[in-house]
Amino acid sequence: METELDLTKIIELEQLLETGVPEIIDRLVGEIDEALGGIEAGLADDDLAAAANAAHAARNSALMLGAQPLLPTLGEIESGARLGDERATRGGLQRLKSTWPELKRRLREEAERRR
């Protein structure tokens, strides 16, 4: 499993927003967690459009975090949901659930290191 992170985008955001790296990481990690819940809720409610929208939001946050390993899976979830393919959407969600915790841990460690 690829766990590479590219923090250059966060550094650029820090300069642009005049906000610290820890706060940026905390916010974007929270957005991904929230979107993950939105994907799960969309699937539970048979609302694939909601799942697709949540995956799209998570993908935007992952791009800003430089969390490259999440991007293909989030793209699969979004595409699967938009195509009405619940099986592909659920498969992507399971892969996301296996990848995201380690990346999130590493991001939180980075945030703590910079506090």
Residues 45 and 30 sit within 8 Å (Cβ to Cβ) = no
> 5-52: per-residue pLDDT in tens?
788 888 888 888 889 999 999 999 999 999 999 999 999 999 999 999
> 51-79: per-residue pLDDT in tens?
999 999 999 999 988 898 899 999 999 99
> Which pLDDT score is estimated for 81?
98
Residues 54 and 39 sit within 8 Å (Cβ to Cβ) = yes
> Which pLDDT score is estimated for 1?
41
The two three-digit tokens of residue 44, written as one number: 């539970």
The Cα angle at residue 44 between residues 43 and 47, in degrees rounded to 5: 50
Enumerate domains of the chain plus CATH numbers: 8-109 (1.20.120)
pTM, to two decimals: 0.91
